[in-house]
């Protein structure tokens, strides 16, 4: 008898189960404005760029932000700013392997190469967080459906503070968009917390907000307050991870700010990427159940 | 008889501008529905010179409101529908018609044969096609008008 350690539930799930089959793409000749239009319309963070129909590169919201910062014209071809080549995985790869590949290359999504080399789908961090949520939902110990089960040990459940990034940087509401973009780029973040004169959270400027501002012809020197989204979505440090994930997913936001005691005291941020990196469902039972005693090989 | 698009098209049409907020577009959908006495599910989007730049359908707006990843949920009994709609409204606040309209719109000319129009509607799953003459919009062919035009001959 030996101890068999399976890493996480992500080793058992494949890319096929979590990938999205709709891949939003544009030819390299299409301009940045058309690219942003697709990103907004289909609610995706990146586009696959094709050259004569074949995958040639990727343009993400981060690349769009870079173009905005550099003052590039909105009618520039997407091919001029794309990052190539696109990275691929296979439908039969485990989610664990896909996450490894993303981390190795410092990227947030992989395209999925199906039979015959055709593009069969795309998988990104939110898709993985989504399947973890679904996994918890179907679990026989699920608290998502029965929130008040007697005899449950709340210690088993992850709390937001265990998973969040415990530092937040913020910008003043009067700082120009260029300063926000510098911050987002430096900290590799998807959104910036905007605070008022008293340091209280006033709003959020995300890469989506910046892409829209770029497309709408907004000057990059305008203050953050003119395009920020308010109010700030936040949750307490002690909140259960699954509740936070549910808010993230259904509100279609990529991060939720975390406060201690009062919403005015922001202490961290939880992103869907953080949730995916937990590599488990939303409770410790899921992790410990991965260590099973099996028959000798 | 050679029946073409101009024989079944509606010469009246309502338009939206790409710079219009989505909330305004929804208002225009209501007004157009009242004015026409029929449900309007899609409207043409034109630039300042009246050239067609896209089309916005209720489907496009619903696609925007629908939460992402809805396909992987399965059981949805723990979803707060009220919160969902409120969130969608907040997100839609800064979105303009041009941000979510369909830009690759199929169009026909007044001389397109009725059977070709029918073929496009069936193959492409579309219910309305703008009729363009030298780039100018002349009208719209609705699938219901095409339907009654064809089946009335059966009676």
CB pairs under 8 A between A and B: 64
In DSSP notation, A4-68 reads EE---GGGTSBHHHH-BS---EEETTSBHHHHHHHHHHTT-SEEEEEETTEEEEEEEHHHHHHHH
This prediction's pTM: 0.83
Residues of A in contact with B83 (CB under 8 A): 250-251
Cβ pair A239, A160 in contact under 8 A? yes
| The Cα angle at residue A134 between residues A128 and A138, in degrees rounded to 5 | 145
The ipTM, to two decimals, is: 0.81
Check residues A281 and B139 and name the one with the higher pLDDT. Answer: B139
| pLDDT at A83 (0 to 100) | 95
Tell me if B78 and A144 make a contact (CB, 8 A cut-off): yes
On the question of pLDDT at B81 being above 90, the answer is no
Give A136 to chain B, closest Cα distance, Å.
Answer: 11
Tell me if B72 and A37 make a contact (CB, 8 A cut-off): no
Check residues B74 and B119 and name the one with the higher pLDDT. Answer: B119
Tell me if B72 and A43 make a contact (CB, 8 A cut-off): no
On the question of pLDDT at B85 being above 90, the answer is no
Least Cα distance to A217 among A75, A74, A78 occurs for A74
* pLDDT lower than 70: segments of chain A: 1-10, 136-156, 276-297
Tell me if A37 and B100 make a contact (CB, 8 A cut-off): yes
Beta bridge partners of A5: A291
Element (H, E) at A270: strand A266-271
Residue of B nearest to A131 (CA): B72
* Residue matched to tokens 């073409």: B4
Full residue range of the structural domain in which residue B31 is found: 5-151
Kindly report, residue by residue over A236-282, the tens digit of the pLDDT: 999 988 788 878 877 778 889 999 999 999 999 998 877 766 655 55
| pLDDT at A290 (0 to 100) | 47
Residues of B in contact with A42 (CB under 8 A): 63
Residues of B in contact with A204 (CB under 8 A): none
| Nearest residue, CB atoms, A252 vs list B67, B77, B99 | B67
Reading the block at residue A97, the tokens are: 């392997």
Cβ pair A229, A204 in contact under 8 A? yes
pLDDT band per the 50, 70, 90 thresholds, residue B77: low
Is B78 touching A (CB cutoff 8 A)? Answer: yes
Cβ pair B95, B64 in contact under 8 A? yes
**Mean pLDDT of chain B, nearest integer:** 87
Question: What is the spatial distance between Cα A105 and Cα A108, in angstroms, rounded to a whole number?
Answer: 9
Is B125 touching A (CB cutoff 8 A)? Answer: no
| Nearest residue, CB atoms, A250 vs list B67, B75, B100 | B67
| Nearest residue, CB atoms, A130 vs list B72, B91, B99 | B72
- Residue A209's Cβ-side half-sphere holds a number of Cα atoms within 13 Å equal to 28
Determine the 3-state secondary structure of B140 from DSSP. strand
| pLDDT at B79 (0 to 100) | 59
Question: Which of B77, B89, B99, B103 is the best mutation test for A, with the most CBs of A within 10 A?
Answer: B99
Give B105 to chain A, closest Cα distance, Å.
Answer: 14
* Cβ neighbours, 10 Å, residue B96: 21
Our count of domains for chain B comes to 1
In a 10 Å sphere around its CB, with 0-12 CB exposed, 13-18 middle and 19+ buried, how is residue B79 labelled?
Answer: middle
CATH of A159-277, one of 3.30.70.260, 3.10.180.10, 3.40.50.720, 3.10.580.10: 3.10.580.10
The DSSP secondary-structure symbol of A295 reads -
Least Cα distance to B130 among B100, B101, B99, B97 occurs for B101
Is B68 touching A (CB cutoff 8 A)? Answer: yes
Q: Do domains A9-123 and A159-277 have the same CATH topology?
A: yes
Element (H, E) at B56: strand B52-57
Cβ pair A49, A27 in contact under 8 A? yes
Q: For A9-123, which CATH class? A: alpha beta
Cβ pair A29, A93 in contact under 8 A? no
The structural domains of chain A, with segments of one domain joined by +, span 9-123, 159-277
| pLDDT at A292 (0 to 100) | 41
| pLDDT at A293 (0 to 100) | 40
Tell me if B69 and A127 make a contact (CB, 8 A cut-off): yes
Kindly report, residue by residue over A188-199, the tens digit of the pLDDT: 888 999 999 988
Residues of B in contact with A215 (CB under 8 A): 99
Domain CATH code at residue B71: 3.10.580.10
Question: Which of B72, B92, B97 is the best mutation test for A, with the most CBs of A within 10 A?
Answer: B72
């Amino acid at each position: 008898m030996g101890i068999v350690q399976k890493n996480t539930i992500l080793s058992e799930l494949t890319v096929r189960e979590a990938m999205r089959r709709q891949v939003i793409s544009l030819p390299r000749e299409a301009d940045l404005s058309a690219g942003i239009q697709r990103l907004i319309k289909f609610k995706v963070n990146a586009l696959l760029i094709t050259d004569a129909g074949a995958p040639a590169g990727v343009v993400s919201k981060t690349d769009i932000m870079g173009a905005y910062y550099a003052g590039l014209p909105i009618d520039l071809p997407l091919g001029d700013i794309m990052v190539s080549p696109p990275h691929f995985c296979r439908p039969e790869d485990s989610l664990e392997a896909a996450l490894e590949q993303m981390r190795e290359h410092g990227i947030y999504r992989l395209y999925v190469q199906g039979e015959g080399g055709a593009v069969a789908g795309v998988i990104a961090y939110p898709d993985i967080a989504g399947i973890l949520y679904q996994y918890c939902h179907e679990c026989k110990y699920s608290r998502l459906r029965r929130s008040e089960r007697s005899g449950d040990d709340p210690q088993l459940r992850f709390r937001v503070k265990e998973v969040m990034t415990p530092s937040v940087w913020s910008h003043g509401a009067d700082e120009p968009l260029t300063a926000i973009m510098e911050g987002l780029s430096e900290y590799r973040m998807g959104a910036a917390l905007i605070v008022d004169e008293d340091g209280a959270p006033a709003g959020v400027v995300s890469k989506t907000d910046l892409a829209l501002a770029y497309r709408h012809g907004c000057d990059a020197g305008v203050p953050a307050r003119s395009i920020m989204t308010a109010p700030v979505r936040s949750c307490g440090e002690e909140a259960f991870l699954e509740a936070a994930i549910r808010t993230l997913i259904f509100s279609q936001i990529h991060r939720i700010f975390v406060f201690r005691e009062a919403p005015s005291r922001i202490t961290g941020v939880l992103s869907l990427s953080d949730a995916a990196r937990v590599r488990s469902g939303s409770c410790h039972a899921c992790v410990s159940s991965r260590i099973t005693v099996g028959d000798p090989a | 008889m050679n029946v073409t698009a101009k024989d079944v098209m509606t010469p009246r049409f309502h338009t939206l501008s790409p710079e219009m907020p989505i909330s305004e577009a929804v208002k225009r959908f209501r007004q157009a529905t009242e004015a026409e006495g029929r449900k309007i599910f899609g409207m043409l989007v034109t630039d300042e010179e009246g050239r067609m730049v896209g089309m916005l359908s209720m489907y496009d707006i619903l696609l925007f409101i629908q939460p992402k990843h809805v396909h992987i949920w399965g059981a949805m009994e723990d979803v707060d529908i009220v919160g969902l709609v409120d969130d969608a409204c907040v997100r839609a606040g800064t979105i303009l018609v041009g941000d979510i309209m369909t830009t690759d719109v199929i169009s026909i000319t007044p001389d397109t044969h009725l059977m070709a129009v029918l073929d496009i509607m069936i193959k492409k799953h579309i219910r309305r096609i703008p009729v363009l003459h030298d780039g100018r919009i002349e009208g719209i062919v609705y699938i219901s008008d095409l339907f009654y035009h064809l089946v009335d001959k059966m009676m």
